[in-house]
Amino acid sequence: MTHDQISLWVKVQEDKGLDVESVKTRLKNMVIETPSWGYGDSGTRFKVFKQQGVPRNPFEKLEDAAEVQRVTGVCPTVAVHIPWDKVEDYGAFKKHAQDLGLRIGAVNPNLFQDDDYALGSLCNPRAEVRQRALAHMLECVEIMNKVDSNILSLWLADGTNYPGQDDFRKRKHYLMDALTEVYQALPEDARILIEYKMFEPAFYHTDLADWGMAFNYALKLGDKAQVLVDLGHHAQGTNVAHIVSTLLDEGKLGGFHFNNRKYADDDLMVGTIDPYELFLISLELVSGEQDPATSECADNVSYMIDQSHNIEKKIPAMIRSVMNIQTAFAKALLVPREELKQAQEKGDVIRAEFIVKEAFETDVRPLLAMVRQEMGLQPDPLKAYVEGPYDKKILARGIGGQGW
């Protein structure tokens, strides 16, 4: 877009009463964490389509993440998954990230791939398996200390496939005992974010099946425990924006795994299937930031991407997801709060819905282009990557890089 087009857009918004400078500041300060596993080979239960140029080790994953940060300017942290990202020298790993202008973000334990975990990990009926899973969690806490991470991000695949397979309440106590020990081992300034999932890989019940269960554990554990919301982990039709609002009000919303889905946990690129849902969630997050009663919690929500690139090229898919998150937040920041509040208090349903929809339908590309240019970036991150040398450079890695 030309300078004149951007200037005209700004004038139109300012005539509507929008504080464009404050919106720009919020967008410039946004931090979106990308996942190391999003750069590696991944697939479905049926097939992994290997791509040329995929990272061969955790250090190369960081290099790809640095390229995303280079063109977007809002992705300075990288989540790691253990043992996928296990290295001999975490000091060297941390330094490599720093040399690339990055930091290590959330540490994610893997409690679902070992053969011993067929019947569960922290909730397994066998004590020796539960102890092994707990030891892995504590190992991840030690890794947090070595890489200066302040988030332990837990997704638990535990559950059962058949009625009578195991005792619900007994498993609940196993989990609480394990989480209590892990919680007590956390660094002073760290948090544990508890994720939930309605089903898969267990199909009769999962031990952390919904936000209420995750909230219950977080509430019992204490202030350093919060809930992590994955956008693909809900039943069809679930109002995730409502869940976000409730958790914010309770001070227990800790983070997001942004992705998108059509049916279940599809892990598609963010904002590609239901951009309106992403906008409405962003609307609640922005509202939480602007409300003094919830701003402390909202300001500390960790925005993370968690998606599986099966057929897409890894780095462009990540960039596209980042851009779609920025777009949703930019639109949410355009909503005239006072005008919306007045319509709500009058019970003016038509006006209130119109105000929200008008913001969603606003073209925010001029705004985002202006923000990026002021940050010293190209206005179109994806174009900047495609036209740059990195995409060709990594082809020298060949095929057969590190996957899940």
| pLDDT tens string 214-223 | 999 999 999 9
CATH of 30-334, picked from 3.40.50.1110, 3.10.129.10, 3.20.20.150, 2.60.40.10, is: 3.20.20.150
Beta pairing partners, 153: 193
State how far the Cα of 183 lies from the Cα of 177, in Å rounded to an integer.
10
**Per-domain residue ranges of the chain:** 30-334
Q: How confident is the model at residue 15 (pLDDT cuts 50, 70, 90)?
A: confident
Q: What percent of the chain has pLDDT over 90?
A: 89
The strand ranges marked E within 239-378 are: 253-258, 302-305
- Determine the pLDDT at residue 75: 98
| pLDDT tens string 134-165 | 999 999 999 999 999 999 999 999 999 999 99
Residues listed for the chain: 404
Q: What percent of the chain has pLDDT over 70?
A: 99
Residue 228: helix, strand or coil by DSSP? strand
Total-model pTM: 0.95
Q: How confident is the model at residue 12 (pLDDT cuts 50, 70, 90)?
A: confident
> In 3D, which of 9, 140, 40, 26 has the Cα closest to residue 402?
40
- Determine the pLDDT at residue 404: 60
| pLDDT tens string 202-238 | 999 999 999 999 999 999 999 999 999 999 999 999 9
| pLDDT tens string 257-300 | 999 999 999 999 999 999 999 999 999 999 999 999 999 999 99
State how far the Cα of 94 lies from the Cα of 64, in Å rounded to an integer.
15
Q: β-pairing, 205-206 with 159-160?
A: antiparallel
CA distances from 80 to 60, 193, 306 (A): 13, 14, 11
CA distances from 204 to 133, 232, 240 (A): 22, 18, 23
- Position of tokens 């389509």? 49
Beta pairing partners, 229: 256
State how far the Cα of 335 lies from the Cα of 283, in Å rounded to an integer.
8
| Exposed / middle / buried, residue 189 (Cβ in 10 Å: 0-12, 13-18, 19+) | exposed
CA distances from 24 to 9, 18, 70, 379 (A): 13, 11, 19, 14
Residue 176: helix, strand or coil by DSSP? helix
Q: What is the mean pLDDT of the chain?
A: 95
